């Protein structure tokens, strides 16, 4: 029944989201920073014994461009799946929204026309309301707490517990991107905001977040953001350090506000019907490949965040990177508490309690990492 409801919800939202541009189309810097030491996450075994593997080719769609960090990670996982199944399972990766924008791919997953897809939590939430929890602002205190959570076995198991009744199976994420504001106004606290218009991803929760900060929002295609800023249609963009560089926002914006209020990660999903059609050996191999790649993506994402945070401030970008003091950050946290009150019943008591308690645990275990980051 949840799967049927999910299909109906996704279809209803299709026209509303079609003009939104779907997902972020960003490109990763060409040079990769050396991997940093990741927090302990209790990684599962990635060894796969010989077994009975399906002879199958899976299509995998994602909206980021072919040169993006997401696509690089996806291609790596595709290779790992082929390796661990002895070439029996082939995964063809289609970046750059070749298989459609995120809302269309979500509908395709639910209807069976798409095998795998990377879909943002805010889009998944149109069919699975519980996923609004992954968009709660300032859920994690720092990147190390977020990465420890998102790459853990417990997190993967819990997300699957929620998603599978809706017809979706979760494999992990390809890339983690802290969300910032890039624009021509300098913000240190919500008191500095006075109704400026910020481009955000689709989803009512983002409108509610920015409204709490006294900012207006609009949803436009990601590829149109540069022109929208240039023509003063919007005053800024909800994006990230990497997008600020790759989309050349530094040419039309002076400030990068390092809010890091959400650690955004598109969810790598496969339809439950497709997943259940695979042999147990194939499922074990794909899960092991996904776990191995997730561990790699953890460091990959963090290193790019560190590298890009430094890069935006220097030649040739020369943006002013506003890093909040603890007191300034707390002002943003306090202002957005009504969003938690509104979305707790939408998310549901069980999952809301789990995600907030789990995040609190990750924050407590990564306090020193926050100071050293």
Domain that holds residue 98: 2-26+55-176+265-308
In a domain, 168, yes or no: yes
Taking Cα atoms as reference points, which of 109, 136, 111, 112 lies closest to residue 122?
136
Kindly report the number of other CB atoms within 10 A of residue 171's CB atom. Answer: 25
CA-CA-CA-CA torsion for 317, 201, 303, 79, nearest 10 degrees? -120
pLDDT at 47: 61
Instruction: Kindly report the CATH number assigned to the domain that includes residue 303.
Output: 3.40.190.170
pLDDT at 1: 54
In a domain, 280, yes or no: yes
> How many angstroms separate the CA atoms of 325 and 199, rounded?
25
**DSSP string covering 110-124:** HHTS-SEEEE-HHHH
The 10s digit of each residue's pLDDT in 270-320 is: 999 999 999 999 999 999 999 999 999 999 999 999 999 999 999 999 999
In a domain, 224, yes or no: no
In a domain, 293, yes or no: yes
**From residue 36, how far is each of 72, 231, 289 by CA, in Å?**
18, 40, 21
pLDDT at 166: 94
Q: What is the pLDDT along the chain (373 residues), one digit of tens a residue?
A: 555 545 555 444 444 443 333 344 433 333 333 333 334 444 445 565 667 999 999 999 998 888 888 999 999 999 999 999 999 999 999 999 999 999 999 999 999 999 999 999 999 999 999 999 999 999 999 999 999 999 999 999 999 999 999 999 999 999 999 999 999 999 999 999 999 999 999 889 999 999 999 999 999 988 899 999 999 999 999 999 988 888 899 999 999 999 999 999 999 999 999 999 999 999 999 999 999 999 999 999 999 999 999 999 999 999 999 999 999 999 999 999 999 999 999 999 999 999 999 999 999 999 854 444 4
> How many angstroms separate the CA atoms of 276 and 288, rounded?
16
In a domain, 228, yes or no: no
- Give Cα 172 distance to the centre of its chain: 10
Q: How many domains, the chain?
A: 1
Average pLDDT, whole number, for the chain? Answer: 87
> How many angstroms separate the CA atoms of 274 and 276, rounded?
6
pLDDT at 16: 42
pLDDT at 41: 40
pLDDT at 333: 98
In a domain, 365, yes or no: no
In a domain, 198, yes or no: no
In a domain, 317, yes or no: no
pLDDT at 37: 38
pLDDT at 48: 59
- Give Cα 98 distance to the centre of its chain: 19
Q: Are 91 and 250 in contact (CB under 8 A)?
A: no
């Amino acid at each position: 029944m949840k799967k049927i409801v999910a299909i109906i919800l996704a279809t209803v939202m299709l026209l509303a989201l079609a003009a939104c541009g779907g997902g972020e189309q960003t490109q990763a810097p060409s040079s990769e920073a050396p991997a940093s030491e990741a927090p302990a996450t209790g990684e599962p075994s990635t060894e796969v014994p010989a077994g009975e593997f399906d002879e199958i080719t899976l299509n995998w769609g994602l909206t980021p461009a072919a040169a993006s960090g997401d696509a690089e990670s996806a291609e790596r996982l595709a290779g790992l799946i082929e390796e661990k199944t002895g070439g029996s399972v082939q995964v063809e990766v289609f970046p750059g929204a070749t298989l459609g924008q995120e809302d269309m791919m979500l509908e395709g997953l639910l209807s069976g026309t798409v095998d795998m897809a990377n879909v943002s939590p805010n889009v998944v939430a149109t069919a699975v309301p519980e996923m609004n929890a992954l968009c709660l602002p300032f859920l994690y205190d720092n990147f190390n707490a977020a990465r420890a959570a998102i790459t853990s076995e417990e997190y993967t198991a819990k997300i699957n517990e929620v998603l599978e009744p809706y017809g979706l199976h979760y494999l992990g994420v390809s890339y983690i991107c802290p969300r910032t504001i890039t624009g021509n106004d300098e913000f240190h606290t919500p008191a500095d905001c006075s109704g400026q218009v910020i481009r955000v991803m689709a989803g009512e929760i983002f409108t509610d977040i920015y409204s709490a900060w006294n900012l207006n929002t609009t949803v436009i295609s990601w590829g149109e953001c540069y022109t929208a800023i240039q023509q003063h249609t919007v005053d800024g963009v909800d994006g990230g350090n990497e997008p600020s560089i790759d989309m050349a926002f530094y040419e039309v914006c002076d400030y990068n506000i390092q809010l890091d209020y959400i650690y955004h990660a598109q969810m790598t999903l496969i339809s439950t019907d497709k997943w259940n059609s695979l042999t147990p050996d194939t499922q074990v191999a794909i899960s092991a490949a996904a776990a191995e790649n997730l561990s790699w993506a953890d460091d990959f994402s963090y290193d790019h965040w560190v590298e890009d945070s430094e890069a935006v401030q220097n030649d040739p970008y020369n943006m002013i990177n506003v890093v909040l003091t603890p007191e300034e950050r707390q002002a943003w946290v306090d202002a957005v508490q009504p969003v938690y009150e509104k979305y707790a019943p939408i998310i549901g008591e069980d999952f809301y309690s789990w995600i907030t308690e789990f995040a609190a645990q990750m924050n407590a275990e990564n306090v020193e990492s926050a100071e050293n980051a």
